[in-house]
Structure 1
């Protein structure tokens, strides 16, 4: 099936001497994987390896078999040129981390326009702003909504948050109930948008602890989700 779609690059892995395997989250078809043969050595082809930097927004022309196999990519061009996302060291580290989370979290080969638009809006915000130390925390928390396990904040004044059920409650019912400072941080993030990030002040320890809670929340709700290897790099950047 011939498809023209927007897409966000999730990963690009070298295969052999000259090939590239690219995973992209597409607007029209969800997650797709493309085999780009010879792209790392060819100087004359339409496709250039530089197009496939992590989280780049592209306009793709592709042929999809929709059988869970590698797809064929005919054309690609940059749809939105970032100003700082790949040149700012801190943002580039955050991009690497977020891309790894998305690679582990998104599995569906079907369209999800609200999630695609959320990813695009979040990345564009990150590109244009400088107060970003807590961006990844809110980004992951808001992403839960589109992945199907958004925290229920209807009783957020209760003293515990049950990560297994995604609800606030009055008592501790299992080992995955959080309280204390992590609970306070969760309450701060619930209900704000990216423009409200400047109102949240966290030190490195609080930020790291809450990020670990978010990663555990993902592990509890997504089968096979693995802690990102780039987590250590991100923590080092903000230390």
Structure 2
């Protein structure tokens, strides 16, 4: 539970910390930070865990008094794990749940996202757990964009890249969340040349913005280099 405890502390810290300390500690001023402070709200921090079974993992969360929300399959993380470790996605069983926290900013909010890859999954291998636990590839900090528009997302992606060293690595649309038009999520990883404690970020937007994301510039080679150079997780309190 140590990594989960760390993620809970991260979420409590992030809910009231200045955006500059989360997003771009090297460049604490400028468009990247000002746009995030004006237009984004902290949503959650995430961690990937490896319980013996899905049921055992949820029971452990409940026994700790964390009241997990109902777990659902996570197609995004299943796909990422499958690509990273050469797995058959059909055999890679990953679920997602959320934990509600009383945050320092006064909100009671599902501020921790927990991915559960049980050891009884057909695709599980101890070497996968060792690598993922050591590097924290699925750890991220997520924001909700208050009033997403195409021009705003393009400005955010550009500023986050040039000022905060964040590379847009893709995104997706979920028709089952966020209202009648679903929701759109954008994923970012920090450039290997701009190291910092928080390495991955997400932007969550209500609505179907696939037409916008399809036109955004990709830095696929830089994204691959970022993950290839990803060091083991450094334990800190923030």
TM-score range, shorter-chain basis? Answer: under 0.3
Q: What is the TM-score normalised by the length of structure 1?
A: 0.23
Report which of the two structures shows the higher radius of gyration computed on alpha carbons. Answer: 1
Q: What is the TM-score normalised by the length of structure 2?
A: 0.23
Higher relative CO (Cα under 8 Å, sequence separation at least 6) belongs to 2
